Chains A and B, each alone.
Chain A
Amino acid sequence: MLVLSRKKDQSIVIGDHIEIKILAVEGDQVRIGIVAPRSVQVHRKEVYEQIQEENRRATQKKPDWSAFKQMLPGKNGKTDGE
């Protein structure tokens, strides 16, 4: 891992198209600005990990949809309002 020290308002540049800027440092929190092409997906790591984990959990037990038909919110599965 490359380790760099940066101060507020300083940036690092990754490749030609990605810039990461330190916007503010407050206690143990750092605000980071990211400039990247739209094709580069940027997520908080914990969010991506939560999605992975939930997907894995979702495969543990298979829902038996035939048992849920009577729980539809309305005819043809459409709700009005709410």
Chain B
Amino acid sequence: MAAPTELIEMKVYFEEGIPGFLDLRFFQIKQQEKDSPFFLLVSLENPSIEFGLINPFSFFSNYEFVLDEELKGQLSISEETAIIVLNIVTIQTGGELTVNMMAPVIINLDNRKAKQIILNDDRYPIRQPLFNLQPKVASE
């Protein structure tokens, strides 16, 4: 599975919708800029529905899981397929940004099929803190 090098901006298709929005199938995924870990996912059927997502590997280098054969079949993923993994970000009431590590979004960049999967792995919470809008100390 190859890593993309160009700016990612394309229409993607969630055959089963997204939990909470099962009637929405067509979205536009847009990378903020080339190599950026920040993405937006906007519904083409209801443009008021928009998600912010991140490339999890830019922030959590130990994040790992196995794509099961069923998912690979659904999205037609093989060894040569270019895919990306993204996780939805929530801005919590106090301004904290959290990442849904339990339910990553998998996108096949070759055929544009996408799915949000649910991991059965206690290491990955629904609200993993990412950073606060008012950070106390800059990390670098």
Q: Which residues of A contact B (CB under 8 A)?
A: 38-39, 41, 43, 47-48, 50-63, 65-66, 68-74, 76-82
Residue numbers in A under 8 Å from B89 (CB-CB): 58, 63
Residue numbers in B under 8 Å from A79 (CB-CB): 58-59, 61
Residue numbers in A under 8 Å from B38 (CB-CB): 63, 65, 68-69
Binary contact readout B65-102 vs A (1 if CB under 8 angstroms, 0 otherwise): 00011100000000000000000111110000100101
Residue contact B59 to A73, C-beta cutoff 8 Å: yes
A-B residue pairs in contact (CB < 8 Å), sample of 19? A41-B118, A43-B118, A47-B118, A50-B126, A51-B19, A51-B100, A51-B116, A51-B118, A54-B88, A54-B103, A54-B127, A55-B19, A55-B51, A55-B88, A56-B21, A58-B100, A61-B90, A79-B58, A82-B60
Residue contact B126 to A54, C-beta cutoff 8 Å: yes
Residue contact B20 to A63, C-beta cutoff 8 Å: no
12 other contacts beyond A58-B52, A65-B39, A77-B35, with CB at 8 A cut-off?
A: A38-B70, A43-B118, A48-B118, A51-B126, A56-B21, A58-B51, A65-B32, A69-B32, A71-B131, A73-B140, A78-B58, A81-B61
CB nearest neighbor in B for A79: B61
Residue contact B50 to A62, C-beta cutoff 8 Å: yes
Q: Among A56, A60, A63, point to the contact of B97 (Cβ < 8 A).
A: A63
